[in-house]
Structure 1
Amino acid sequence: MATTSATRAPLVPPDARTRLTRRRRTGAGRISPTFYWMVIPAVVLFFVLHTVPVLTGMFFSMTNYAGYGSWDFTWFDNYVNLFKDDQVIKAYLFTFGFALVATVAVNVISLAVALGLNAKIKFQTGMRGIFFIPNILSILIVGYVFNYLFSNSLPEIAERLGITALSSSILANPDLAWVGIVILAVWQAAAFNIIIYLAGLQTIPGEVYEAASLDGAGPVRKFSSITFPLIAAFFTINMVLSLKNFLQVFDHIVALTDGGPGTSTQSVSLLIYRGGFQGGEYAYQTANAVIFLLVIVAISLFQLRVLQRRESSPS
């Protein structure tokens, strides 16, 4: 027998219909004009200060523009010449090597410090504040301080201790100058990474460790089977951001070695700055900047995909 309209159950519950009617009358659910007043200026500023310069740079990268005067189209000649330039290749090799070493070092040190701070020790809040100080200091100012330490204090201490290998400034040694840059970069970047790792460690319930202790798990087993898998997402964030930031290293090198001795510590960013703004190679180094942008994006996306896949299958 067919169901009549009087006995058919309503599609929308009466209380839900009442709320829906009230929302329609009051205009609830509509986007407030304040939202547009906040978002539109941000979008315009992003377009003017980011998108327009990027598109302009891509345009001039296909010319012979020197930063002044007239110019003509050379199309892809600048891009082809980049792969034949030994100085460019050397800068890329140094940048990649530095970024890999610094990324591994900063994450190992930061995770170790975060594990220590997360333990039940005194003055946790104060220690977190102290470890975060390097992140708010100017890299150039701190870099000049480290420059003095590496060039004066460290050689003096090494000489008195009879360590001849460190009796002269490592920044003047083409084979060791990169070590000083890594030390400064890791010291400064560890502050941010420690905070991220601490946030991840605080999301792990204490009951999990208690259950593992009852099962006889030791510190190493707890870290490998509980701690690291549960903070995998935070590890991914730190790895991606660290590698991206270290690939763009600039201030650290300017303060410590200025690319020297010779060009042994010249990064891609420093090469682009020198050639583009000081060497009359504006279009050529703009093409280099476009290539570098694509390289960083590709590496970051690949790294993110691999690490996120590792999160879903930690074993």
Structure 2
Amino acid sequence: MSTTTRPATSRRPRNRRTGPGRAYYWMVLPALVLFLIFHTAPVLQGVFYSFTDSPGYGDWDFVGLSNYAALFGDERVRAAYWFTFRFALVATVLVNVVALALAVGLNGRIRFKNTLRGVYFVPNVLAVLVVGYVFNYLFTNSLPSIGAALGIDRLSTSLLADPELAWVGIVVLAVWQAVAFNIIIYLAGLQTVPAELYEAAAIDGAGPWKRFWSITFPMIAAFFTLNMVLSLKNFLQVFDHIIAMTGGGPGTATESVSVLIYKGGFQGGEYGYQIANAVVFMVVLVVFAVVQLRVLRREEVSA
């Protein structure tokens, strides 16, 4: 008489914990507290002072929405916003065109590819203020000397001393410095494109330009969106470049919103007024980021 033995079923202990454990809270809570103390609290304090006439010290009084109403009638504020938008748009387009072109070239079969990647990334690790003073010297001294030696009157004077062209020098510095980071992002995106797609397109007779628009760009559309949003956000907040190159001059020709807030709030006794300007500028940055993300995301889907 044979007996069949059933294999013993092993019972696994049930984990009754459905939520995060104590270690999770001990790691998150300190970061949350620090964020509230050093970020949220100062922001709320700034919003509070935007409704006052505080000069940054001493006594102050509530003025309600007077600061915000005065901003829309201030010619200097409008000029600062116009310069900032114009600079950010031009710099964003140029930096992404240059970075994408260099990234596509570096991703191809060229010699010293890894060395060139390191060389192109160098500007990103340099301090903007230090590089800005170097570019200031080049535009103020070196370039005029070269222009005078070649007999070019247009280049014989400093570009930064011309109210109509000083912003061009700042754009050159900003693009040169920002291209490095964008190249790295684009290179990461290009690594995700399967090589088989290019081989199939080459067999079908597609040229380099056709392969770029039909394969490369649609495949890295998400990386293009990331670079565009980050570039526009950073250029709208331009500050160091201007301080090192022109200080906002000649006159107020290159005065961005950030520079105006700094000068008026900390040097001009307009602390409450410029805090209101900063609050409006923060809202503008959020609106730009949201709109830009929605538009570019829609383009990604259509691509």
**TM-score, normalised with respect to structure 1:** 0.91
Larger deviation, residues 86-95 vs 65-74: 65-74
Question: Equivalent of 1:173, from 145, 162, 175?
Answer: 162
Which 5+ residue runs of structure 2 have no aligned equivalent? 1-7
CA-based RMSD of the aligned residues comes to 1.6
1:250 aligns with 2:231: no
Question: Equivalent of 1:22, from 13, 16, 25?
Answer: 13
Separation of aligned partners in 1, 2:289 and 2:59:
37
Q: 2:201 corresponds to which residue?
A: 212
Question: Equivalent of 1:239, from 200, 225, 228?
Answer: 228
Q: 1:90 corresponds to which residue?
A: 79
Superposition map of 1:96-175 within 5 A: 96-175=85-164
The alpha carbon displacement at 1:23 in A equals: 4.7
1:202-253 alpha-carbon deviations (Å, 9 max, x no partner):
1000000000011111111101111001000000000000000000000000
1:137-193 alpha-carbon deviations (Å, 9 max, x no partner):
110001001101111111111222222111111001111100000000001100100
Q: 2:50 corresponds to which residue?
A: 61
The code of the aligned residue for 1:137 comes to L
Partner-residue secondary structure (3-state), 2:275 = helix
Percent identity among equivalent residues?
Answer: 64
1:124-146 alpha-carbon deviations (Å, 9 max, x no partner):
22211111111111100010011
1:266-287 alpha-carbon deviations (Å, 9 max, x no partner):
0000000000001110000000
Q: 2:5 corresponds to which residue?
A: none
Larger deviation, residues 95-104 vs 44-53: 44-53
Separation of aligned partners in 2, 1:138 and 1:37:
36
**TM-score, normalised with respect to structure 2:** 0.94
Change (3 A) 1:42 1:87: same
Separation of aligned partners in 1, 2:209 and 2:113:
23
The alpha carbon displacement at 1:30 in A equals: 5.9
The alpha carbon displacement at 1:37 in A equals: 2.7
The code of the aligned residue for 2:37 comes to V
Separation of aligned partners in 1, 2:234 and 2:14:
47
The code of the aligned residue for 1:58 comes to V
Partner-residue secondary structure (3-state), 2:20 = coil
1:36 aligns with 2:30: no
Partner-residue secondary structure (3-state), 1:22 = coil
Q: 1:277 corresponds to which residue?
A: 266
Partner-residue secondary structure (3-state), 2:163 = coil
Separation of aligned partners in 1, 2:129 and 2:238:
12
Change (3 A) 1:22 1:58: same
Separation of aligned partners in 1, 2:14 and 2:40:
39
Partner-residue secondary structure (3-state), 2:13 = helix
Separation of aligned partners in 2, 1:83 and 1:102:
26
Larger deviation, residues 59-68 vs 232-241: 59-68
Question: Equivalent of 1:292, from 266, 281, 295?
Answer: 281
The code of the aligned residue for 1:167 comes to S
1:70 aligns with 2:59: yes
Which 5+ residue runs of structure 1 have no aligned equivalent? 1-13
The alpha carbon displacement at 1:22 in A equals: 3.0
1:79 aligns with 2:68: yes
The code of the aligned residue for 2:168 comes to V
The alpha carbon displacement at 1:34 in A equals: 3.4
